[in-house]
Structure 1
Amino acid sequence: MGRVALVWDERAAGYDLGPGHPLAPVRVELTVDLIRRIGLLGGGVDEVLPRALDEVELLRHHREDFIDTVKRLSWDPTARAEERYGLGPGDTPAFEGMHPASLLICAASVEAARQVWEGEADHAFNPAGGLHHAMPDRAAGFCIYNDPAIAIDWLLEHGAERVTYVDVDVHHGDGVELMFADDPRVLTISLHESGRFLFPGTGRADDIGGTKAPGSAANVPLHPGTPGSVWLGAFDAVVEPLIRAFDADVLVTQLGCDTHASDPLAHLALTTDDMAAIYDRLHRLAHETTDGRWVALGGGGYQLVRVVPRAWTLAFAEMAGRGVPVETPMGWREMAVQRTGDVPPTAFLEDPVQLSEAMRAQAEQEARASVTALRELLLPLHGVR
């Protein structure tokens, strides 16, 4: 196992959309603390500070008037709401310091990409990243700047010929897909709860890329109640062969863990055990298809204490090739209660969710439909029969 990097700067906790907002920075702080407490760092597994990022990098994917608006509201969030830029009451309110905090998250994702591309690390993880809904001209879905797209663009600018992006968040990775829909060098893959039931309402199975790059996008919409076994079956059926066929130089993943059965904003039925199986697959595919070059980013996840820290610690442990203890440390649990009032689970892993036969049958039917559509419409474009 080569070197592994955890890219983290305490100032990233400044990305704070306000009291009571689902995307609370404490979830990432608790993750980093848990990683430290169980001894995953050391011996070639290092915590790394991101280098500063020139604002010009934002202009590769965001309009200048949008960036200027973010800056203005960053210094005075009480100014008139700019709803045409997605900033105002609702999902993505303006907050003091949002421009430097958002730029720092982009810097951390670019640093993760740089660590991997320049050979300083085989794998790198930015748990504060993965803000995949941000659009060129507006914020959306809690996301201001699209750090996955900016990191991918950095890789392309520095010599990567192909990048595979796999998004396992419960919400469709719409912003990243849009930004690369007409770029044949990037394959975006998103497995998510169907847009018929969940924000952002996009990501149908027949959405397979832009007119200039047909086949550049793969979408696997899933029915509410989909358990881990069905999710993993869809991944094995179409995502793995696509990753192998595209034969990229780097694997970039968004590891949103809001697919968990207890997530308050969505309706899938995965467990941390299922997530560990996902990370195992991604790790194996990185070594088998991209010479181990794996850049991982955080994403959604709104069980701030009970799920996110365990899920992303499992992801980082997989990247580091190290195990986790059966139980989370008592000191960490006590600290989490002190900070949030919520009690985290003792065990890292969980038993499967029990579903009714009808719900399981519906989930299996929708997954089969998505897999069939991709086999007919997309896989042949990549030479997969």
Structure 2
Amino acid sequence: MSLPQPLFIGSEIYRGSSYGEKHPLSIPRVPTVIDLCRAMDWLPKSQYRVSPMAKPAALTAFHTPEYIEALIDAEALGVVSDETRDRHKIGTLSNPVYPEIYRRPATAAGGSLLATELLVNCGIVYNPGGGTHHGMADHAAGFCYLNDPVLAIESFLAQGLTRVAYVDIDAHHCDGVAAAFHGETRVLMISTHEERRWPFTGELEDQAGAQAINLPLPKGTHDDEFQLIADSVILPAIQAIRPEAIVLQCGADAVAEDPLARLNLSNNSHCNLVKSLVPMAPRLLVLGGGGYNPWTVGRLWSGVWATLNGFEIPDRLPEKGRAVLAALSWNRQRGERPDYLVDTLRDAPRKGSISKEIRHRVQTLQARQRVWV
């Protein structure tokens, strides 16, 4: 099937919005991707859609009305009570009260819900502002106030789809999505994530009602190991269920330079998986997620958009593209910034031998798949 041109969903609400100066999400992310893709002439107006802000009623497809009301009140008042903080986990160090505490996550969720409408027949949609996979039904968690992947999958199911694959390659396990779809036979969840890292869920043995594949990654996992995982676990599992839609959470915190993880992937791992997933379902929704180094996030997510469109990524960025990255700053930067983070878009591959741990985990999951697929 010939798919229409991919669509990019963005919003100006992300420009200048921050969780606070000392928070890991003080950095610009979606605006960098928009600016860099435009500088590369990769983002014409015909492929760009402005994300709407999801209405409260739409958010209650997963979240409780009381929680949505608490977010709206927190934005209006600028503070929360001790009771609200304890009950809904907002106003904490991880999930602080900030000026757009409701509008920004509601816009990310609105983008993912719009994507499912645009994908009602077929296509590819990219919403880099989405991917907030830790949000729970009645409380915030892990920098996530709402859970747009869950809302998007619920929307696909409401359209009548019965085979949806959710793939998550963020460095942190997608505990909110796992909780939402535990035992749901219409959804296959596949997650790779760094082992022994918050939220400390997603063990290899956790099958979530036999509809989940969790593959914890040892510290230092590199491109060759991830390619083995993709070829031996992720892609065969998706091919086996013949999904009607794929939702990919493409967290950028799994690359080597991220400050909140200790994996050793290059952005080639993400782009290679994206390229492999494109022909595997008539509907593909690609989301952002984690990522706390402004240069690696902007480069990776721009590279994902290039991959979705089949654009050639140059060895060296033209001056207009380089200027976007050169203008970034980061108050958490340690040492000198490597030149390649400004001069290039594609990382050098990070190769190595396959560890015994990775081989064992892959073989364990392959044996399990032969039983339930």
TM (norm. structure 2) is 0.91
Counterpart for residue 11 of structure 1: 13
What residue in structure 2 maps to residue 229 of structure 1? 224
Cα–Cα, structure 1 residues 117 and 353, in superposed 2: closer, same or farther, change >3 Å?
Answer: same
| Kept after mapping to 1: 8 A contact 2:222/2:264 | yes
Does the aligned pair in 2 maintain the 1:102–1:144 contact within 8 Å?
yes
Letter matched to residue 295 of structure 1: L
Q: Which of residues 293, 305, 309 is equivalent to 1:303?
A: 293
1:338-377 mapped onto 2 (5 Å cutoff)? 338-340=327-329, 344-353=341-350, 364-377=355-368
After TM superposition, which residue ranges in structure 1, 4 or more long, deviate above 6 angstroms? none
Counterparts in 2 of 1:279-298, with a 5 A limit?
279-283=274-278, 287=279, 289-291=280-282, 293-298=283-288
After TM superposition, list the pairs within 5 Å mapping 1:14-163 onto structure 2: 16-24=18-26, 26-42=28-44, 46-81=47-82, 82-119=85-122, 122-163=123-164
Q: What SS does the aligned partner of 1:263 have?
A: coil
Distance 2:204 2:4 in 1: 37
**Cα distance in structure 2, aligned partners of 1:336 and 1:352:** 20
Q: 1:148 to 1:14 in 2, by over 3 A?
A: farther
Q: Is the 8 A contact 2:56 2:68 kept in 1?
A: no
Q: Secondary structure at the match of 1:117?
A: coil
Inter-CA distance 45–218: structure 2 relative to 1 (3 Å threshold): farther
Distance 2:46 2:248 in 1: 19
| CA displacement 1:71-93 (0-9 Å, x = unmatched) | 22112233335033221232111
Q: Structure 1 pair 200/15, CA: closer, same or farther in 2 (3 Å)?
A: farther
User: Contact between 1:75 and 1:97, CA under 8 Å: does it hold in 2?
Assistant: no
Q: Is the 8 A contact 1:168 1:255 kept in 2?
A: yes
How far apart are the structure 1 equivalents of 2:52 and 2:345?
32
Distance in 2, Cα, partners of 1:9 & 1:325: 27
Equivalent position to 2:242, from 242, 247, 257: 247
- How many residue pairs get aligned? The number is 361
Aligned partners of 1:161, 1:278: CA distance in 2, in Å?
23
In structure 1, runs of 5+ residues without a counterpart are: none
Is 1:134–1:141's contact at 8 Å kept on the other side of the alignment? Answer: yes
Q: Match of 2:48, SS?
A: strand
State which of 248, 256, 263 in structure 1 corresponds to 2:251.
Answer: 256
Opposite residue 240 of structure 2, the aligned amino acid is A
> How far off is 1:20 after superposition?
2.6
In 2, the alpha carbon distance for the partners of 1:139 and 1:377 equals 33
SS in 1 for 2:35: helix
Does 2:320 correspond to 1:321? no
Counterpart of 2:201, as a letter, is T
Residue 163 of structure 1 deviates from its aligned partner by 0.8
- Equivalent-residue separation in structure 1 for 2:174 and 2:60 (angstroms): 20
How far apart in 2 are the matches of 1:108 and 1:14?
A: 19
1:133-192 alpha-carbon deviations (Å, 9 max, x no partner):
111121111000000110111111122222101001111111111101121111111011
Of all paired residues, the percent bearing the same amino acid is: 30
Q: Which runs of 5+ in 2 are unaligned?
A: none
